Structure 1
Amino acid sequence: MRAMLTGAAIGVVLGGLAVGVSSFAWPDAQPVDSRAETYRQLDLFAEVLARARADYVTEIDEKEAMEAAINGMLGSLDPHSSYMSAEDFEAMQVQTSGQYGGLGIEVTMEDGFVKVVTPMDDTPASRAGLESGDLLTAINGKPIVGLNIDDAVRDMRGEPGTEIIVTVLREGEDAFDVTLEREVIRPKSVTWKALDDDIAYFRISTFNERTTELLEEAISEVSREIGGRPAGIVLDLRNNGGGLLDQAISVSDKFLSGGEVVSTIGRRPGDIARYNARKGEVFKNVPMVVLINNGSASASEIVAGALQDRDRATVLGMTSFGKGSVQTVIPLGTDRGAMRLTTSRYYTPAGRSIQATGIEPDMEVAQARVTEDELDRIRRFSEADLPHALTNEDGVERQIPKLPDDQPPEDYDGEDYQLDRAIQTLHGGLLTAKETAQPG
């Protein structure tokens, strides 16, 4: 079984070059045999392993060394391809099922450190104050440099109730330690509430196997509380690091009636798949706002892009992360783990690739007042800044962020400025410092 996550061979032939100088001619260049070159490289690898096994200062763990070599090869392709040991593969299956043990944090690797993409709602990571863009440099005093992403994640997991200390490097601050207590993470990927008595608010924190099911329950519950159709809908995808492709499609389907949601294109001309919504949608013609920020990635960008391109929703917030690739998880057999391989790019209904560029909001609204220094930090937290990141095949580059025109007033005392602006947009009003009200 393969799980899809939200990630033409070019032959170069040097022909013979003949230059007539009297009776002399260059000999024909021999065609390169790619298979023979691959075998030579494998021989080189075997020799390096044999020498390390025989001469390294201490005895090496050959299995661990081989896994590290495989992971290094895959990691050199792009930031999202990797090897998973049997234990890591099992942990990934548990995580996408909607329950796992750990800290509740979406991470990636950058410059040898673990970078926080987003802390999940109501988890040890979020309660401890970890933020998107934080770099984790050590776990229980052990430096992370030299570990791959799977090793680092494994070190952060453990028995519920046990403590872990992570060293955090945050822009503009000295490194500091944070103590967290591990717990069983059962993220409720969908939460809801009624705002202003007539606005249906849905928060999706991740896309796991239960997300669409939980959204359906939330839709029924908010309808009962409001007493029918809402006056407006807010779909909050901020700091949603992504997840399963099929869940992104089925969530989009709830708010669309027919038509394309997303398409994926792989390496070969025939590797094209188009995914369409079914007829019928919930709360048809009810105005809708989708909230995003630079922590919104992958599957959440698929949803935001679909609803934006299909003119179903106004997208409000800050430009998203920009992960426009699809990963396929390929099992490698009993006790051999699996590989996570980027196999395609995805495109919004309008044919846009958002790889390395992100979804740009229709209304750019900052959550907090942004200085030039903070803007520089935001600028450097995106897919485009990850090592070996795929470029945008259309040649489009991520827009350099500027200070947003719409920022909280200096005397703003609300809790969530972007949400306040969403509500005002749905009500057709303009937010002023005097009109600001805290969401219920």
Structure 2
Amino acid sequence: MKLSPRNHRFNRLAAGCLGVALVITAASADTRSPKTDISRSIDIFTSVFKELQTNYVDSIDAEKSINTAIAAMLNDIDPYTEYYPASEQEDLAMMTSGEYGGIGAVITEIPGRGVFISEPYEGTPSQKAGLKAGDLIVAIDADTVLTWHNSQVSNRLKGEAGTPLTITVKRPYNGPDSILKFDLVRSKIQLPSVPYYGMVGDNTGYIYLTQFTDKSAADVRNALLELKKNPAMKSLILDLRGNPGGLLEA
């Protein structure tokens, strides 16, 4: 099965992980740099960075500079290998497993109007608290987010499972209760890679596969086995529209 090329970043994630493994296992003593060369190169890099920190006219963002250096090194060696810093580990985990800490709701941005709740997932903190599709997110805790973009709001809603937050929303009707506050506690959210499967017409099965995670194979298998219980099924549609790719093994 060919993965969609539309989301290069996601596909490179899987290919990069495999590429690292191949480089490590295929390397021999003849192709590896001597330990003395590696140590000297690291010392040179450290000395250059210290000189910049000490003598450069402006302050230097250490984390950003180091990440830039790592990205340039990997791009030169293997453009399909990517480095994810600690600040992006949660995003990496969500891409590979479909799991993240948050409130369990799809949000969408309408330019010029703000970020809205699009769909609270069944059984998640957002649904249990009473958030509804169409709610305009006004504030998160003490911060007004009306001018924030979708990614900013999403990052703020995510967090470690068990941590509290307060969301203020405006309901899409006029009245004294249109501004509402909800106290929530983030939990571990599992996004299904197959959110829907069923029959289309009398004899065609349908499976909607949204991403390739470590659970996708089992999700597709279970959906297919359920569909095959219907003896009338003669054909199958595997819907990959909007699927950004994912783990190479999946």
Q: Which has the higher helix share?
A: 2
Relative to the length of structure 1, the TM-score reads: 0.30
Greater Cα radius of gyration, structure 1 or 2: 1
- The structure, 1 or 2, with the larger RCO (C-alpha pairs under 8 Å, 6+ apart) is 2
Relative to the length of structure 2, the TM-score reads: 0.49
